């Protein structure tokens, strides 16, 4: 399959032996803990997921971490778009397994990233009932917050926004993304 060749090229830069040296359970626990802590202390749900996955697997994708930042809070903290945790997860899956520039130029329809992102989306919907940031907020806070409004942001923080609520979403999503990547890497 053509996409397997491209995946192998990406993974030549990654120490697969090191990744395989830890147990899947340990790796999933680390993904949760690191994602949770990044969101709790550094904010930015999308960046927190990308950075957690980068950390857990020993990746080095500084441009991906940087470019994931404005996806936070449902895109630019509007809460109107896809939850940043899910966006960050799909972004790193796409980076690792998606259609590269050559495939794009040749119009090769590489479905790998689409197929392995769908279970992440499904898991997110199963857990939160939606992928939209303000809908996730309604699920975990019983209300949504306008993160662009100073007073609403204060209420968000007082309700545990960056103490436990969103860090838990990021931790769970980091775990789900890590498991998807682990399952793909183990077969490379």
Give residue 13's pLDDT.
62
On whether the CB atoms of residues 61 and 95 are closer than 8 A, the answer is yes
Q: Cα-flanking dihedrals φ and ψ of residue 82, to 5°?
A: -60, 140
pTM as predicted = 0.92
Q: Mind listing the pLDDT tens digit for each residue in 163-177?
A: 999 999 999 999 999
Q: Is 82 helix (H, G, I), strand (E, B) or coil?
A: strand
100-109: buried (b, 16+ CB within 10 Å) or exposed (e) per residue? beeeeeeeee
Q: Mind listing the pLDDT tens digit for each residue in 32-85?
A: 999 999 999 999 999 999 999 999 998 889 999 999 999 999 999 999 999 999
Residue-averaged pLDDT of the chain: 91
Q: Mind listing the pLDDT tens digit for each residue in 3-39?
A: 454 455 666 666 677 777 788 999 999 999 999 999 9
Give residue 188's pLDDT.
62
Q: How far apart are CA 170 and CA 159, in angstroms?
A: 17
């Amino acid at each position: 399959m053509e996409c397997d060749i491209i995946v192998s090229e990406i993974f030549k830069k990654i120490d697969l032996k090191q990744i395989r040296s830890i147990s899947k359970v340990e790796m999933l626990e680390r993904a949760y803990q690191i994602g949770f802590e990044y969101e709790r202390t550094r904010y930015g749900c999308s960046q927190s997921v990308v950075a957690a996955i980068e950390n857990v697997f020993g990746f080095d994708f500084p441009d991906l971490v940087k470019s994931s930042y404005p996806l936070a809070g449902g895109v630019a903290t509007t809460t109107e778009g896809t939850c940043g945790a899910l966006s960050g997860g799909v972004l790193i899956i796409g980076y690792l397994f998606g259609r590269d520039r050559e495939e794009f130029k040749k119009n090769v329809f590489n479905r790998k990233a689409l197929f392995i992102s769908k279970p992440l989306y499904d898991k997110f919907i199963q857990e939160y009932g939606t992928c939209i940031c303000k809908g996730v907020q309604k699920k975990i806070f019983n209300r949504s917050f306008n993160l662009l409004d100073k007073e609403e942001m204060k209420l968000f923080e007082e309700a545990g926004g960056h103490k436990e609520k969103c860090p838990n979403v990021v931790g769970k999503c980091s775990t789900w993304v890590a498991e998807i990547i682990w399952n793909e890497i183990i077969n490379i």
